[in-house]
Structure 1
């Protein structure tokens, strides 16, 4: 199974981004930072999701992110599927913070249970085939709208969503151009997918994390 060790976010100011993520989400999320001045505008075609166990944890992370300088895109609230909200980090990365539970079962914490990278793609079926050919295993899918790959033993799970649908979920316009400002670190040889998302090989994930 293809192993995603971390994602690298390309940012204009690494020191400021490091301070934000350390303050908002803590030191353990599988995110690295790299300086970049690559041109980018609008929606970058992806979101990152922090999955937690209860609404109180959503609120704790959401509030910490906003206090650290994030912009609220969607306030944390209940929905049919659970509870969650969306923020945009000062570097431009969009974060969904969510729980499938609608009720609290304990005191609030900022414990993150899963990190999910959602790529907004033009053709879910074609991208699904591309990724299966590159060693990923489909865990579940909903036709041509959404695909989730098996990530039971990987720090970052991967899912595919229609680009316009993902932008709608994030609360932003789907329009955007330029660099994704994202590199996916894994145990496979480097490649770039049909939508321009770049993958880089991590030689020894166990020691580089």
Structure 2
């Protein structure tokens, strides 16, 4: 089964981005990395990253930490039919959804993240689904031409596909955008680019600090 080993965010200031993600989300640097890029990019970059947590209090804790670290609110946390969540934009421009399917807290509030999900906004969900299946990805859930979720191991980033305009609406941003996605994915199947221009590279080990 193929999967995402890590997500690489291309940013103007890698040191500032690394400080933000450490302060806001305390993310594992082997799963979310940053590297320098000045590639032109305007508007919606065609993807969001989602932090899935166990209860509403954890959503609020992560939203608060992100805002304190310099993020801006796209959608304040609120209740919905599916649970509770909100959306923020990191200082580097990446859109983050923070959500839970739980309706109430059942334990102490933490900033623990249960699942990290990359949602790619694509023009043709069925075609891109076929593309990834041909490269060894296993479909876990599929809802016609609207949404696809691929299986992932416990230490992998979960990959999902969504219609681009629908994903922009969920994120609370206009769907228009040009230039670089400012995103590179690593995994065993790289290098390649998918039909919507999302770039994959071979997985590489994280360099030791110091």
Q: Same fold (TM over 0.5)?
A: yes
The offset of 1:189, in angstroms, is 2.6
Cα contact 1:3–1:154 (8 A) shared by 2: no
C-alpha distance in 1 between matches for 2:205 and 2:74: 36
1:47 corresponds to 2:48: yes
Aligned-pair distance for 1:3?
2.7
Asked whether the 8 Å contact 1:8–1:31 carries over to 2, the reply is yes
Equivalent position SS for 1:50: strand
Secondary structure of 1:4 counterpart: coil
Contact 1:187–1:203 under 8 Å retained in 2: no
Q: Residue in 2 aligned with 1:10?
A: 10
Structure 1: tracts of 5 or more residues without a match = none
- Confirm or deny: 8 A CA contact 1:4 1:154 kept in the other structure: no
Aligned to 1:168: 169
Q: Which runs of 5+ in 2 are unaligned?
A: none
CA shift, 1:72, in A, is: 0.1
**TM-score with structure 2 length normalisation?**
0.95
Which moved further from structure 2: 195-204 or 15-24? Answer: 195-204
Deviation at 1:27, TM superposition (A): 4.0
Q: Which residue matches 1:75?
A: 76
How far has the Cα of 1:28 moved from its partner?
2.1
**Correspondence list, 1:1-209, <5 A:** 1-28=1-28, 30-203=31-204
Deviation string, structure 1 residues 37-87 (Cα, Å, up to 9, x no partner): 000000000000000000000000001001111010000011000000000
After superposition, the C-alpha distances for 1:76-107 in whole angstroms (9 at most, x for unaligned) are: 01100000000000000000000010110111
Post-superposition shift, 1:204? 5.6
Task: Give the superposition deviation at 1:154.
Answer: 4.2
RMSD, aligned CA? 1.4
Q: 1:113 to 1:20 in 2, by over 3 A?
A: same
Conserved 8 A contact 2:58-2:109 = yes
Instruction: Work out the number of aligned pairs and report it.
Output: 207
Deviations 1:149-171 (A, max 9, x none): 01134420000000000000000
Superposition TM-score, scaled by structure 1 size? 0.96
Contact 2:5 2:187 in 1 (8 A): yes
